[in-house]
Structure 1
Amino acid sequence: MADFASIAQQFVQFYYDTFDTNRQNLAALYRDHSMLTFENAASQGATSIIAKLQELQFSKIKHQVATLDAQPSSEDGGILVLVTGALLVEEEGRPMSYTQAFQLRPEAGSYYVFNDVFRLVYAAA
């Protein structure tokens, strides 16, 4: 079995570095059957997912990962990844908390994102 924790760590580092610098370059991580749910809005397929990420109303963003948990998720080498952290958007002084879950699937010696679920986390009232 591959070192799922190491793969998850490398994936998360690559994903957020790429998201923060050029979201368009994330297209290679998704397939036509991949699905993103971003704040309750679902998109399916690489083209639709990248369009959703490109339409987000900010140009500068920085993800700060606080926690990363990973588990093997299937007998064929899938990996479930759960991330929590903070987003610094534009010149905003206060970060926003978020959580994001990825279902990674193996393909040709690498991995792609089969499922991606993102949510901002708001303080309890």
Structure 2
Amino acid sequence: MPERNSGRLRFPECSGVAREGRGEGTVGRRPRWVAAAAAAAIVPAPRIDASCLTWEGQQFQGKAAIVEKLSSLPFQKIQHSITAQDHQPTPDSCIISMVVGQLKADEDPIMGFHQMFLLKNINDAWVCTNDMFRLALHNFG
């Protein structure tokens, strides 16, 4: 979440460390699956070869293709602020999450974004199997 400083928003730096939620139970007062989904909303969960990413309409299948795409993004510095996030357990014991927020890449203006992803518990670790990302750009021209 952004920090307030004299009425202005300050965007914290993104960390490059992947986080995993493990097992069932609770973290604090929240179910562990909520904590896992919230962590993945900030830093993507690990992926597997069956994972799929749709980035601005382009589809990438498999861990190697996804890592290559994310590594090739043209910015050097990224900051983000999550405005809202919703998480739901699915009938097949996965977690579906939707995140809305703002990001700032390098010196570009702040832009809105939407992200939806599916987490699956594999060998007691939450893995991102499906991920869809779009910038919230509007053309009123």
Query: What does residue 110 of structure 1 align with?
Result: 125
1:55-92: per-residue Cα shift (whole Å, max 9, x none)? 111111112111110001233x2000100111101022
Query: What does residue 51 of structure 1 align with?
Result: 68
Pairwise CA distance, 1:123: 3.0
Q: Which amino acid aligns with 1:55?
A: S
Number of aligned pairs? 111
**Which aligned segments of 4 or more residues in structure 1 are displaced greater than 4 angstroms?**
none
Which of 98, 109, 123 is the equivalent residue of 2:113? Answer: 98
What TM-score do the two structures reach when normalised by structure 2? 0.72
Q: Which amino acid aligns with 2:96?
A: L
What TM-score do the two structures reach when normalised by structure 1? 0.81
In the alignment, structure 1 residue 80 sits paired with structure 2 residue 100: no
SS in 1 for 2:43: helix
Query: What does residue 8 of structure 2 align with?
Result: none
For the pair shown, which has the larger CA radius of gyration, 1 or 2?
2
Q: Which amino acid aligns with 2:99?
A: V
Q: Distance in 2 between matches of 1:72 and 1:36?
A: 20
Structure 1 residues not aligned, in runs of 5+: 16-25
Structure with greater helix percent: 1
In the alignment, structure 1 residue 13 sits paired with structure 2 residue 42: yes
Could you tell me the percent identity over the aligned residues?
30
Structure 2 residues not aligned, in runs of 5+: 1-23, 26-30
Q: Distance in 2 between matches of 1:74 and 1:110?
A: 18
SS in 1 for 2:131: strand
In the alignment, structure 1 residue 70 sits paired with structure 2 residue 87: yes
